Structure 1
């Protein structure tokens, strides 16, 4: 089999990264810059919980691969699953080299009324995990080792581009996809992560955006990138297919639901009451959304299906993510209910159906993230009061941030797709699409 120049270049880049890492020592001789606390500030219970939570979040990516893989046609099961799974390798490397620095490094941004607001992190803050060691960071995670915080956050960076893959499944070249997710992680995910989750981030510090576990950073960014991807790549030649393996979808949903406890409750960054709240609201919102989805389907003349139950459960998980640590169990019940209805309507909305978003990523993750952000601004308890608790300003800031994030992620992703396509053609040939990506891209088949 002929090896193209693009593969040789890709291997050369990985080689340079691997060798470059030898010149950086991530744990030795951390200078006393005042940003780290002493080791005796570490809380053992918090360390144990976040270690477990990080493992749970990692499990979500293979869970997503089963969730998506079971939905596509038999000719594209392996390729679809691999597109999710490969993010564990690609994004982990990007995160260590520069992603963590861009997300949580020293804030680079703008000054407003004499105050600094970060847009992105300094890439030279923690290259190759330099200075990311066992001491806790004073501002970001004061009770766990900084390296644990960095690795926990890495799992969020991994699953975000994996979510996007469902929108252009069955028609994208694998090498082009690899290039796109690197560009997306560096130019879309990291600045958004910094603005929302860094203490000096623009959306956090100035707009007061409440995003407990990633409704904005993960799901809205993936949802709008998915919509842009479906538009750029175009419709499939044969957009109608039967899901290949519903048991895979059920298995993937179970893995996602299980892992989501680490995703949401782990975002408390401590073994605390806040984590317990997030744990409870996560499962109740998902249960509510799952039941709402199947009953709403039946009321509208559609069958009660395992596929519908799984999609509903995931929509509920998406919706509760930004507010899981800020709302009550009763409010999470409503959040799952109302988001399932809105998302179900969007999945079946005819104008949106004209865009071939293969697995309805925008209607589920994008709309779910939007609903979560709005409902968090309405119901959230805490320091910055939400709309129901007298916080009109917070609500308006949330709505402004929602528009900014939507525009940034959609048009930013659109540019990155175009850039990727100009370097390596995004779409497979018609012959390869008809043959199926499993065989045409990987010379493997699902039997």
Structure 2
């Protein structure tokens, strides 16, 4: 049995939470339900927009939260992983969880956990999920934008009641060891957030089989459905180095919406899909609850949303582009976005990823697009892929003399910088944990909007 005394300092509380990492990541709702019951089920006091998917769910959350904030609502946002500071995971109107609030919510949750058996210990993610619910309930937020951690059906975030709106973004092959070997199996897990009698927004799907699976679940659960390319569309995409512009049109729960010339601050061809899903989710929420979201607030929010580590451009010598492309789907959209925003630009790439990713598939997409590759190990993560194993994959698609292996992240970053010639940029991609580590090395500690 483990002693669950409340710690008195922020550092001790963090150590206490992350000591649970040795037990790994586990799906299932039994533990989080027990914690919530012990706390008096504060999740039942809150209203949620629940977001799942393989690609884009974090960006959809960022857009959705910012739109609602600009409309005057108090919005809780729960995301994972954090890039630099764990407080990033839990924020209210863009202000991340402070050490003081962390200690307060940690104390309540840790007390609720009590003594946990070694046979079924709680996970780090479950603790953070419970802390987020407690914090948002105490702050009496109007809406919580709630990102799934892994899958959906058995993810700890699914402890909530029927959400105001469920959103499912583009689905691809990921976590096949946990979620299934086909897009249909993975889509079934993601569709687990769709509950009886709710509202579901389905984003663009690269795989028709995934869309069919999601639609079937939403129909079985008697949901009102807004489906991309049927009920809402995005067209006339235009790209500059710093922005994306497109036209949105749709009929959402009977309300007709037309937003020509929407400009996004986030780069990426995929961000059009994400912004369209966020617009649709907000309109659905507005129709359902009779809330007011002015078009001016929507446009302002979409043009100002900041989401670090996603096509984030940092000027300097060299210019650095940070993007967490850790699946085949993400790698495909990264390459597409590079050509759309920066045609003709040459890159050196720093890359590291976790071992459960499709390393060969990602290598086949990214390797032909860059001049020199520096491979490293994602720091402070027991699931990090060996850079020498990565080298075996990348050698199939890139010349041997243009690949460098450096196990240490800081040395790898400096090596990549030194190997980036004048006129070229440094692309840092792969795991978001690597992107976060490099942001920290660059002195980009803040998650606060610029």
Shorter-chain TM-score range: 0.3 to 0.5
- Structure 1 length-normalised TM: 0.35
- Structure 2 length-normalised TM: 0.35
**Higher share in helix:** 1
Higher relative contact order (Cα pairs below 8 Å, separated by 6+ residues): 1
